[in-house]
Amino acid sequence: MLKNKIFRILAGIILMLGMPLIVRAAGGDGFAVNPMSVMISPTQPIQTLVVTNESTRPVLFDAKMYTWERNDKIDSYTPAVTKDVIVTPPVMRIMPNGKQVMRVGLTKVPSLQKESLYRLYLTEIPSKESLDPNASQNNKRAAAIVVAMRIGIPVYIQPVNPVRKLSWDVQRIDKGIRVRVLNLGNTHIRISKITATLQNSSEPIAEVATYEKIFAGELSSEWILNIPANQSGALKISAITDMDTPLDAGKDYAL
């Protein structure tokens, strides 16, 4: 459970920084995907991904789109039956240290009222050609039973009119301020930090890093802002997101 939480936090940091996602097998072979998520909208119906083979052997990949459902914050994935979202090429062979450009796009512009979620899975197809030609026969047999590398890349189809709106629950507690938010919008919001700033000041007196993704209609985790005991006045609570403009609580809170 702790490992999963740590992975989600690290994945969030990578997303916020715009870093490529790198997947490696036990032997050190791996591939990188950049960017590690795809955002498609009616005004930008096609996006590109670059897959880099960082190993010393050719690698064959299969690309498949899955429908992504969330129920009580539990994710489930099923092979997509719709042809509205496609990925090309569906199969790719990448030479050692080579790159492949992929395109994910819409075949028609949907009139969505709420964000639609998909997952693009890239799965290595094991082959004799992909094994190291310089490896011994025993090593080749061992490599043949290694689990193939696989990665799921989030694909977000934006609604026609995206709405980013949070409902704030801010409570004073002994430790400081407890904050939760409910996403009242129709698209996910990725929050990197919650800050508390005194009125007429630009520097936060407290902040907490979160790197949490909150989907439409969902409630966030609980965050605690430790406010120094000697502080007084009115606080402005804000969420720093992946967008340029922070989302504020909309009112000041007295200490």
User: Hey, what domains does the chain have and what are their CATH numbers?
Assistant: 18-157 (2.60.40.10), 166-254 (2.60.40.3970)
pLDDT recorded at residue 152: 93
pLDDT recorded at residue 134: 55
Interatomic CA distance for residues 239 and 247, integer angstroms: 5
pLDDT level of residue 13 (50, 70, 90 thresholds): very low
CA angle (197 as vertex; 193, 199 as ends), nearest 5: 155
Q: Which of 2-6, 134-138, 154-158 has the lowest mean pLDDT?
A: 2-6
Between these two residues, 154 and 30, which has the higher pLDDT value?
Answer: 154
Residue ranges of alpha helices (H) inside 87-150 are 137-144
Between these two residues, 81 and 210, which has the higher pLDDT value?
Answer: 210
pLDDT above 90: residue 137: no
pLDDT level of residue 3 (50, 70, 90 thresholds): very low
pLDDT above 50: residue 5: no
Contact 88, 27 (CB under 8 A): no
- Nearest C-alpha neighbor of 122 from the set 154, 98, 146: 154
pTM: 0.80
pLDDT level of residue 9 (50, 70, 90 thresholds): very low
- Average of per-residue pLDDT across 67-77: 93
Interatomic CA distance for residues 174 and 169, integer angstroms: 16
pLDDT recorded at residue 202: 87
pLDDT recorded at residue 252: 81
The β-bridge partners of 75 are: 70
pLDDT level of residue 249 (50, 70, 90 thresholds): confident
pLDDT recorded at residue 250: 81
Mean per-residue pLDDT of the chain: 83
pLDDT level of residue 245 (50, 70, 90 thresholds): confident
Q: Which of 81-90, 97-106, 173-182, 225-234 has the lowest mean pLDDT?
A: 225-234
pLDDT above 60: residue 135: no
pLDDT level of residue 243 (50, 70, 90 thresholds): confident
